[in-house]
Amino acid sequence: MQKKGFTLAELLICITILGEIAAFAIPKIIYSQQNSRFNAVVKEDLATVAQAYQMLQLNGTVTQNTSAKDLITYINYTKYDTSSSIDDAYGYAGINPCDGTNPCTRLTNGSIIKFNACTFSATTPDTNVLEVYIDPDGALTAGGAATSDGKSVRGFIYYSGRIATWGTIRNGSTSSCLSWSTYQDPPYLSW
């Protein structure tokens, strides 16, 4: 009577093939999940900034001298920070320091929002903006090495209340210190 089954060599070949498939698939799955999380966090934080701006508008305190720092009062954060750094925006390698002029807040979702001290400088609804930086994981990548693109998103809120990112900002938008440079939205961000 002959027994049917797999030989040890056949089992080892199957295990090797499955290991190779897992070696390629698992990192892609993890990377995809991380990107989805970053995308969701950035959108959540932009909504938080928009809601804070609406509260500022309701209080009737929005002027051409309003800065993003004025929104902090209306944001529920876990830590106010003026001494650490976040990743700079995508398209620019390096770090973006938090300081007394441009403070950061850590939110409950683990992200950090840096509030730029620049002001609207005028009250044109569709061109004047305030600026924030959102680091979705709230940590420096590789210690802020200048060899890789940052993962932060450069976000804007218009005087009208419209929210934008660098990829959706209108040409001609301005603030008291907005600079047009090589920034762009990170690949994980989708609308």
- The answer to whether position 180 is within a domain reads no
Whether residue 171 lies inside any domain: the answer is: no
β 104-106/112-115 pair status: antiparallel
51 is written with which tokens? 């809601």
21-25, 105-109, 126-130: segment of lowest average pLDDT: 21-25
In a domain, 3, yes or no: no
Identify whether 182 is part of a domain.
Answer: no
Tokens representing 121 are 């400088």
Structural domain contains residue 128: yes
For residue 3, the model assigns a pLDDT of 73
* Residue 125 falls inside a structural domain: yes
Average pLDDT score over residue span 9-24: 88
Mean pLDDT for 38-61 is 95
Distance CA 16, CA 5 (A): 18
Residue 170 lies in a domain: no
Structural domain of 56 = 8-165
Domain total for the chain? 1
pTM for the model: 0.84
Q: What is the DSSP letter of 2?
A: P
> Is 2 part of a structural domain of the chain?
no
Distances (CA, A) of 86 to 18, 66, 90: 39, 24, 12
Span 119-165, pLDDT tens digits: 998 888 889 999 999 999 888 875 445 445 678 899 999 999 999 99
Nearest to 136 by CA among 157, 115, 106: 106
